[in-house]
Amino acid sequence: MQHTIKADSGWRIWWQLTRPHTLTAAFAPVFLGTMIALTHGKLHFPLFFAMLIASLFIQMATNMFNEYYDFKRGLDNENSVGIGGTIVRNGVKPKTVLQIALALYAISVLIGIYICLETSWMLALVGAISMLIGYLYTGGPIPIAYTPFGELVSGVVMGMLLILIAFYIQTGVVTTDAVLISIPSMLLVAAIMMANNIRDLEGDKEGGRKTLAILVGRSNAITILASFFIVSYCWIIILIVLGYLTPWALLVFLSVRKPINAIATFRAHLLPLQVMPAMKNTAVTNTLFGLLLGISILIGQFL
């Protein structure tokens, strides 16, 4: 059964083009990395905002590259489920989408130059690699998103690496506690990609993708998704026991209903439209988890 998605109009077309539900994957790690840095000294707020804006723009551009190349490879059509498909449903020209993505990259480069001037030019190499990976995620001859490594790459780059960069530009170093605290973020960003691949499993299979969800099968993919959630929450308890976090970090458990609902929805339903709430709950889990953990570190610093 196919579901026709109503086309958006006006500003909503351009807003949906950014795929807003994925933007939390850029915001939460930057916020968390900055809060970890707070435990090591004072914050440089202009650098924080610069890092945040650059990360959001790179995420938006990555989403637009995804939009462009999914269209070019015939994976999007007018009945595609989700907020992708702006080109096929809303009549936005493919060239326009590509140009906007490149413009966002250009602005991010300018912001990156400012960050490097204030910190270290080593970040220019790290930033360039991150942007290249963002492009290659759906662009290039062998897109990363079409392989079993999509979750790993997105988790490391958009989860762990963003936290460590945000931490580094404030402190000038990368410490053990920053690395350890970044691991749940890595897993939860990977969970967003896994949830997306579970929803799109049949369509991706027809399109020739070889995602992890396709290779292991739907049931096992949901189990892997659940393991991402479980390890993330258990990891916080371990860090509290080891003294890397204060008991305030247990605040992250206020978000636990979201992943539980996501897994239940994926287990109960098969159709892409039916599991859209699970997609949302997975993205919200990443946001709430990162925000609550960052807030707990802030509280623990002053109480």
Longest dimension (CA), the chain: 57
Examine residue 5 and state whether it is found in any structural domain, yes or no: no
Is residue 4 in some structural domain?
no
pLDDT band at 232 (very low <50, low <70, confident <90, very high): very high
Please choose, from the candidates 155, 154, 157, 162, the residue with its C-alpha nearest in 3D space to the C-alpha of residue 178.
162
Domain that holds residue 205: 11-302
Helix or strand or coil: residue 149? coil
- We report the CATH number of the domain holding residue 278 as 1.10.600
pLDDT of residue 35: 96
197 domain residue, yes or no: yes
Establish if 3 belongs to a structural domain: no
pLDDT tens digits, residue range 38-67? 999 999 999 999 999 999 998 888 888 888
Q: How many residues does the chain have?
A: 303
Q: pLDDT, tens digit, for every residue of 208-222?
A: 889 999 999 999 999
Domains: count for the chain? 1
Instruction: Answer yes or no: is 2 within a domain.
Output: no
Q: Are 29 and 185 in contact (CB under 8 A)?
A: yes
Whether 3 shows a pLDDT value over 60: the answer reads no
pLDDT at 18 exceeding the cut of 50 = yes
Range of weakest confidence among 9-18, 175-184, 194-203, 264-273: 9-18
Model confidence pLDDT, tens digit, residues 23-38: 777 888 999 999 999 9
Q: Give tens-digit pLDDT for 60-90.
A: 888 888 888 877 776 555 555 444 556 656 6
pLDDT at 69: 81
Predicted confidence band of residue 1 (pLDDT cuts 50, 70, 90):
very low
The reply to whether 105 falls in a domain is yes
Question: How does residue 243 score in pLDDT terms, banded at 50, 70 and 90?
Answer: very high
pLDDT tier, 108 (very low <50, low <70, confident <90, very high otherwise): very high
**Which region among 16-20, 124-128, 145-149, 299-303 has the lowest average model confidence (pLDDT)?**
16-20
In a domain, 6, yes or no: no
Residue 38: the pLDDT is: 94
138-147 b/e (C-beta count within 10 Å ≥ 16 → b): bbeeebbbbe
**CA gap 173, 171 in Å, rounded:** 5
- For residue 225, give both structure tokens: 């998704």
Tokens of 78: 């007018």
Mean pLDDT estimate for the chain:
88
pLDDT score recorded for residue 9:
55
Tokens representing residue 276 in the block: 């859209």
Does residue 1 sit within a domain?
no
pLDDT of residue 8: 52
Q: What is the mean pLDDT of residues 96-106?
A: 91
Residue 56 vs residues 24, 61, 142, 256: alpha-carbon distances, Å:
9, 9, 25, 25
Tokens 């109503």 correspond to what residue? 6
